[in-house]
Amino acid sequence: MCQRGHRERGVTLMELMVVVAIVGILAAIAYPAYTQFIMQANRSDATKTMQLAAQSMQRCYSVNFTYVGCTVQNTAMFDTSTMQTPNLWYTITFSIPDAQDYTLTAVATAAPQTNDTQCAQFTLTSTGQQLAQDTSANNTTQACWGSN
């Protein structure tokens, strides 16, 4: 029983429901922003790996005067070869049309990157040209390569 002048301690159901509603609203706002940030941060898995592979290809070319047969991460590159990025979110395809040129293309192969519609594909050429495309093949190079 309550004595006069004393209040019972505790949380009412209404107060609890208000707190739950506030947490729900914050989560609804924060989660999409968090997943977008994770996808953007994971893009470096592709771009960094492609740049390291390009450096390896350039070192090989400076010695052999050909890109054919160059070794990247202990894999010899020929007409078309593939490799996985370190975190396994992208597959990189090496295209070597002749001894003087190559093109590296990274495509997302694992979630959450497969949900990244803005930066669905990255390309790096032997001339150093960096390209990116969304899922509709629109050029998104500035947004994708520039965000890393």
Concatenated DSSP letters of 34-56: HHHHHHHHHHHHHHHHHHHHHHH
Structural domain for 29, as ranges: 13-145
**Partner residues linked to 133 by β-bridges:** 121, 139
Residue 74 falls in which region: left (phi positive, over 0), alpha (psi -120 to 50) or beta = left
Residue-wise pLDDT tens for the chain (148 aa)?
556 666 778 888 999 999 999 999 999 999 888 888 888 888 888 999 999 999 999 999 999 999 888 888 766 665 568 888 888 899 999 888 888 999 999 999 988 888 888 888 999 999 999 999 988 889 988 888 764 4
Tell me, yes or no, whether 132 lies in a domain. Answer: yes
The one-letter amino acid at 21: A
92 domain-assigned:
yes
- Domain count along the chain: 1
Residue 8 covered by a domain: no
Is residue 7 assigned to a domain?
no
State the pLDDT at residue 124: 94
Termini Cα distance of the chain:
64
**74 assigned to some structural domain:** yes
> Is residue 3 included in any domain, yes or no?
no
What's the confidence (pLDDT) of residue 148? 47
Is 68 part of a structural domain of the chain?
yes
pTM for the model stands at 0.75
Residue 17 lies in a domain: yes
- Asked if 133 and 140 touch (Cβ cutoff 8 Å), the reply is yes
Largest CA distance in the chain: 95
